Amino acid sequence: MKYTFCGNSGLQLPIISLGLWHNFGFVDDYDTSREMIKYAFSEGVTHFDLANNYGPPPGSAEINFGKIIKEELSSHRDEMIISSKAGHLMWDGPYGDGSSRKSIIASINQSLKRTGLEYFDIFYTHRYDSDTPVEETMQALVDVVRQGKALYVGISKYPPKEALKAMKYLKDRDVPCLIFQDKYSMFNRKPEEKILKLTRENGSGFIAFSPLAQGLLTDKYLNGILKESRAANPNGFLRKEQVTPELVEKVKALNVIAIERGQTMAEMALAWALREVAVTSLIVGARNVPQLQDSLNALNNLSFTEEELSLIDSILDSAKL
Ligand SMILES: NC(=O)c1ccc[n+]([C@@H]2O[C@H](COP(=O)([O-])OP(=O)(O)OC[C@H]3O[C@@H](n4cnc5c(N)ncnc54)[C@H](OP(=O)(O)O)[C@@H]3O)[C@@H](O)[C@H]2O)c1
């Protein structure tokens, strides 16, 4: 594993982290979830990304993760960076959604209880909530750090203007925004417009979620939709309609480059996202250990020629996604 400093902080993150959005809930196979966590950690993946609502049912990924850590890795807590988030719908009523002080503080208390952890390394506001002043949300983050419930804080999916406001608020209170979490992959290049520059200029790290575009940037959809795939999973967030013939054609063209580089499609997609210097880490998802192994193999070849990069750009530019 390679580690890199997160923004201006002294915290190093593995360049590939593991996310528990899918495949770690009560509906999933517990033994497989446990094997993935153990394998990841044994390969130097020290960072695990959770949220209050991951499951299903919501909360179950935190419960399973807490159990796995307690049973298998409790003596390694100081070698791990564990994050969680609040902001999406979690419980009924006006306080279980959004980013009010009430929601953030109640949610971190619940998440600590579910995981059995004493603190989170990173706690995020999961999304921008236009009904709550940015200052209110940020002060709640400052306070969870002051209370010892989180060591660092981050923000996710904030529009650039609100992100800048949030970063300034946090910096003025000596609780800098450690990290910005956003969707980034060959198929989602929006952060290249403003956010990557903004994070660099403000000393925050950037961590990409769904770097494989939920599996689209692997070879799994090249010949139809497999039963064992997120697009075929009623609990999954990838819809069958998103697997369009145009998109599959693009992945086929990209896959030719990957093969020439001696990589799988997934390996190349991850290496490509890591070419961007502002990217601190990628949070990958996996349904089993072999998928995770495939993702970690990306580390074997992270460099691209100018020719490869412009060929990839031309394939992506012509994409009708
Ligand atoms: N901040 C936010 O709002 C937010 C939003 C989304 C995600 N996240 C974080 O980002 C993490 C990763 O998101 P993601 O799961 O969408 O990431 P991803 O890495 O883009 O997609 C992972 C999925 O791709 C498929 N896959 C992975 N490796 C493969 C391989 N070698 N061959 C074939 N298929 C492969 C698997 O799906 P199947 O096998 O099931 O098809 C796997 O579950 C989440 O767990 C969460 O921690 C955060």
Q: What is the pLDDT of residues 62-86, one digit of tens each?
A: 999 999 999 999 999 999 999 999 9
The string of pLDDT tens digits covering residues 157-186 is 999 999 999 999 999 999 999 999 999 999
Tell me how far the alpha carbon of residue 228 lies from the centroid of ligand 1, in angstroms. Answer: 14
User: What is the distance in A from the centroid of ligand 1 to the CA of 76?
Assistant: 25
pLDDT at 27 over 50: yes
Under the banding of pLDDT at 50, 70 and 90, the label for residue 318 is confident
Q: How far apart are CA 296 and CA 131, in angstroms?
A: 40
What pLDDT does 265 receive? 98
Q: Say if 283 falls within a structural domain.
A: yes
- Ligand 1 centre from 270 Cα, in Å? 12
Q: Are strands 16-19 and 12-14 parallel, antiparallel or unpaired?
A: unpaired
Does 317 map to a domain?
no
Residue 250 covered by a domain: no
List, chain by chain if needed, residues with CB within 6 Å of any ligand 1 atom.
Answer: 19-23, 49, 126, 156-157, 181, 209-215, 218, 220, 229-230, 266, 283-287, 291, 294-295
Please, are residues 111 and 93 in contact by the beta-carbon 8 Å criterion?
no
CA distance 103 to 96: 6
pTM beyond 0.95, yes or no: yes
- In a domain, residue 280? The reply is yes
Inform me whether the pLDDT recorded for 41 exceeds 80.
yes
User: Average pLDDT of 112-131?
Assistant: 98
Residue at 246 is within a domain: no
- Other C-beta atoms lying within 10 Å of the C-beta of residue 94: 9
**27 lies in which domain range?**
3-213+273-301
Count structural domains, the chain.
1
**In-domain check, residue 65:** yes
Written as six digits, the tokens of 50 are 């959770």
Does the structure show a pLDDT above 90 at 272? yes
For residue 269, report the distance from its CA to the centre of ligand 1, in Å.
Answer: 12
The yes-or-no verdict on residue 321 having pLDDT over 70 is: no
Asked if the structure places residue 17 within a domain, the reply is yes
Is the residue at 24 inside a domain?
yes
CATH number at residue 77: 3.20.20.100
Three-state secondary structure call for residue 303: coil
Please state whether beta strands 47-49 and 81-86 pair in parallel, antiparallel, or not at all (unpaired). parallel
- Candidates 13, 16, 20, 21: which one to mutate for ligand 1, based on the most atoms within 8 Å of Cβ? 21
Quote the CA–CA distance of 214 and 150 in Å, as a whole number.
28
Burial class (CB in 10 A: 0-12, 13-18, 19+), 300: exposed
Task: Calculate mean pLDDT across residues 44-73.
Answer: 98
Q: Which two tokens stand for residue 129?
A: 């909530």
pLDDT confidence of residue 320: 44
